[in-house]
């Protein structure tokens, strides 16, 4: 299954066009967030039902060029340097360093726009995993994957809160060995949250997820 069926949130960019790589834009659109210029918004998305974008991403050097919004101002995510923002402009609700990363934009957009934010993007997979818990080993299948966790289909019953170890081959990245906890059920499957993931393993999953999203 896919994260979103096309963009359901529109983010207008006020910055140099090359602030985002085209690949990052494509991935974010597949995750439900279209990043467009003001002109593109007016041409493609403006309607009676959608007179304003959901969010503006604005290089702080372009703040003076942001048009006035009818009614409450559209929230702004400022692109800035290491010093951050001062809070003097009440439209600014968040800040990201220049140039912004795709994952950072996703996290901020989720927190600002979604009722049930998701920290990291995930992709559908079909990876055979070897599970280990209390001297028992068995095979299961990872059905979706993010850097924070996975959805697992297993013949072995698991109680909520159960800790286990699992290992699987990540295509083009090698074998990962992870510690996880059964955090929820999504019948008939189990949602696992990874714990104490090594930075290299987390980076490998993040890179794999980005490549997989780009190819969808």
Domains of the chain: 9-113 (3.40.50.2300), 123-215 (2.40.10.220)
Q: Which two tokens stand for residue 44?
A: 């493609």
- On the question of pLDDT at 179 being above 60, the answer is yes
Higher pLDDT, 13 or 104: 13
Mean pLDDT, all residues of the chain: 88
How much is the average pLDDT of 111-133?
89
pLDDT of residue 176: 97
C-alpha–C-alpha distance, residues 11 and 110, integer Å: 12
At 144, give phi and psi (nearest 5°): -150, 155
Q: How far is CA 21 from CA 27, 99, 139, in A?
A: 10, 10, 39
Longest dimension (CA), the chain: 64
Give pLDDT tens digits for 81-91. 866 677 678 88
Give pLDDT tens digits for 43-66. 988 888 888 999 999 998 989 889
Which range among 145-149, 154-158, 183-187 shows the weakest confidence by mean pLDDT? 183-187
C-alpha–C-alpha distance, residues 123 and 114, integer Å: 19
pLDDT of residue 161: 85
C-alpha–C-alpha distance, residues 80 and 102, integer Å: 16
Q: How far is CA 167 from CA 21, 106, 133, 147, in A?
A: 33, 28, 12, 14
């Amino acid at each position: 299954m896919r994260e979103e069926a096309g963009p359901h949130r529109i983010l207008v960019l006020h910055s140099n066009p090359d602030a985002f790589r085209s690949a990052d834009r494509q991935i974010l659109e597949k995750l439900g967030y279209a990043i467009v210029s003001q002109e593109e918004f007016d041409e493609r998305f403006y309607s009676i039902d959608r007179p304003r974008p959901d969010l503006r991403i604005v290089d702080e050097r372009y703040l003076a060029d942001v048009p006035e919004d009818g009614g409450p101002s559209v929230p702004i995510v400022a692109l800035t340097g290491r010093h951050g923002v001062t809070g003097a402009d009440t439209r600014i609700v968040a800040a990201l360093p220049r140039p912004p990363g795709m994952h950072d934009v996703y996290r901020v957009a989720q927190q600002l726009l979604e009722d049930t934010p998701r920290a990291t993007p995930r992709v559908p997979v079909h990876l055979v995993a070897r599970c280990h818990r209390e001297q028992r080993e068995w095979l299961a299948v990872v059905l979706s994957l993010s850097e924070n966790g996975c959805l697992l289909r297993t013949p072995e019953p698991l109680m909520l809160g159960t800790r286990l170890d699992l290992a699987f081959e990540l295509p083009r990245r090698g074998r990962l060995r992870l510690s996880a906890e059964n955090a929820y059920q999504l019948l008939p499957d189990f949602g696992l949250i990874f714990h104490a993931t090594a930075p290299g393993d987390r980076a490998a999953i993040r890179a794999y997820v980005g490549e997989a999203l780009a190819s969808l």
